[in-house]
A and B are shown apart, each in its own frame.
Chain A
Amino acid sequence: MRKELPLLVTILTGLFVIFGHDFAIGEKWQLINAMDKWQTISQAFALLIGAVNLTRIHVNHIRRRKAGYIFSLLLLVALWGYTALGVVEGYKGQNFRWLYNALLVQLDSTIFSLLAFYIATAAYRAFRIRTVEATLLLVSAAIVMLGRAPIGEAIWKGFPDWANWIMRFPNTAAMRAVLIGAYLGSFVTVLRILLGIERAHLGGVGGAGMK
């Protein structure tokens, strides 16, 4: 039963969610909506478990004075201090919003901005016309970059049109292929779970879990 019961629950739940909505199964009792609510409640508990677990791990780091324990302390102060401030002040709170705008917004933007520097050095070092494919990639990238910035238009009026053509046709064709592949992969994974072939979610490892 240790193996069969969780499998049965998974199969029945999966089939119900897939077909319940389209065939209005259990509509009278709003079963699909009820299941959505259960999922939301489960997620809230998962968030709490995550926070508690994180706290336990970092409290241990601090107690044992592990290398970098000061960062654990910082994490705990940020996690619980900001939570407490949010609970006391709410979203409208002046200090709550100031901390977010003055710290998180700036830090997040700074880290993302660093990408510009890394992309520039990476492009300079790695973008080489070694093969025909690499040359095609480089030429298309250059056209799109010039076409997406006003300087390209200033150099030659045709750059935006060429950039748009690349985005609309070759890019769309390639992305469609990628998306169809990804969705077929998801479909196969769902089938494997529903047929009980894939059992990693039951606590085992990979497809061989809970043998």
Chain B
Amino acid sequence: MWDRLMSLDKRVIYLLVAIAIAVPLVKPLGLPLSTSTESETGFNAVDALKPGDVLWIGADYGPSSAPELDPMAIAIFRQALKKGVKVVIYAMWQDGVQMSKNWTEKVSKEVGAKEGVDWVNLGWKPNNPVTLRQMTDDLWGAAAGVDVNGTPLSQLPLMERVKKLDSSSVAFIFDLSTGSPGTADYLQYVSEPKKVPMSVGVTAVSAPGAMPYVKSGQYKGILSGMRGAAEYELLTRAPGSAIKGMDAQSLGHALIILLIIVGNVGYVLRKKA
């Protein structure tokens, strides 16, 4: 019997995983969710910004990470705009342009924020992180003088105040990243040398690598994977796709643990026999 349990057909496992993930998406279980200190620290840092301050959001990810990072971006962008905080978005990943265009349009319409006045999307510029470093000396020059739509920065009122990516123009950085270039580059080229505090939102697989910088205080908190996104949605009191996905993640994780237990019980019993 244990031999049979140890050699379950992979198609059966695929089916079980599909059911475990799909069912809660259709019929949510409503499991309780608490918030971690790391998410609260990131939330409090954005919440402490004053109206008129500039928040810099890095959109350094592509579609594969969108389920984890899009909800973070939406929650942070909405929180900032509602507080009257100005937002500048920059993508070190080409895909980040389309990702950010999707959520900036959605949220700015919902909040009634005006592009160029309340927020600016610089889009993607080539050769990062070199371009990012250049922005700390001359943002307009490094950005080739235009935003994502090709509009000259001189025609965007918000950019009159943001000539350099440093503490004189930007109050806080929230980088949403899935790899390199990403959070480590912001830390190395902007946050540390230019004294701009920063926080990060990363995919669950990137979180272990980012944790040393959270412990050292260089990242003001961290949003880790879909759980981090769900916690941020909870903190901003605006439930979105991350909270909806938590039940699916719960059953997915529980199923994997169950499969590991079944496989190991079979392994131990067969070894004894």
Q: Report which A residues bind B (CB closer than 8 A).
A: 33, 36-37, 39-40, 43-44, 47, 90-92, 97, 100-101, 104-109, 111-112, 116-117, 119-121, 123-125, 127-129, 138, 142, 145-146, 148-154, 160, 164, 167-168, 171-172, 175-176, 179
Q: By the criterion CB–CB under 8 Å, are A120 and B127 in contact? A: no
A150 to B31, CA, bound (A): 6
The SS class assigned to the B binding surface is: helix
A4 to B23, CA, bound (A): 66
Q: Known contacts being A92-B149, A146-B253, is A153 close to B34, with CB within 8 Å?
A: yes
Q: By the criterion CB–CB under 8 Å, are A148 and B215 in contact? A: no
What is the distance, in angstroms, from B96's C-beta to the closest C-beta of chain A?
A: 12
Q: By the criterion CB–CB under 8 Å, are B13 and A124 in contact? A: yes
Q: Report which B residues bind A (CB closer than 8 A).
A: 8, 10, 13-14, 16-18, 21, 31-34, 36-38, 62-67, 95, 97-98, 101-102, 123, 126-127, 130-131, 133-134, 137-138, 141, 148-150, 204, 207-209, 211-212, 215, 224-225, 227, 246-247, 249-257, 259-260, 262-264, 267-268
23 chain-A/chain-B pairs, Cβ below 8 angstroms: A33-B141, A40-B126, A40-B130, A90-B150, A91-B101, A105-B63, A108-B62, A109-B67, A112-B63, A117-B17, A120-B17, A120-B255, A120-B259, A127-B263, A145-B257, A146-B253, A149-B249, A151-B253, A154-B32, A164-B38, A167-B208, A167-B224, A175-B209
- Give the residue name and chain of the B residue nearest to A92 (CB): B149
A172 to B247, CA, bound (A): 28
Q: By the criterion CB–CB under 8 Å, are A129 and B127 in contact? A: no
A33 to B208, CA, bound (A): 34
A123 to B251, CA, bound (A): 15
A106 to B62, CA, bound (A): 11
A127 to B261, CA, bound (A): 9
A39 to B142, CA, bound (A): 12
* Across-interface contacts of A120 in B (CB, < 8 A): 13-14, 16-17, 252, 255-256, 259
Contacts beyond the supplied A36-B134, A120-B17, A121-B14: 7 A-B pairs with Cβ under 8 Å: A104-B63, A116-B21, A117-B17, A124-B13, A150-B32, A151-B253, A164-B37
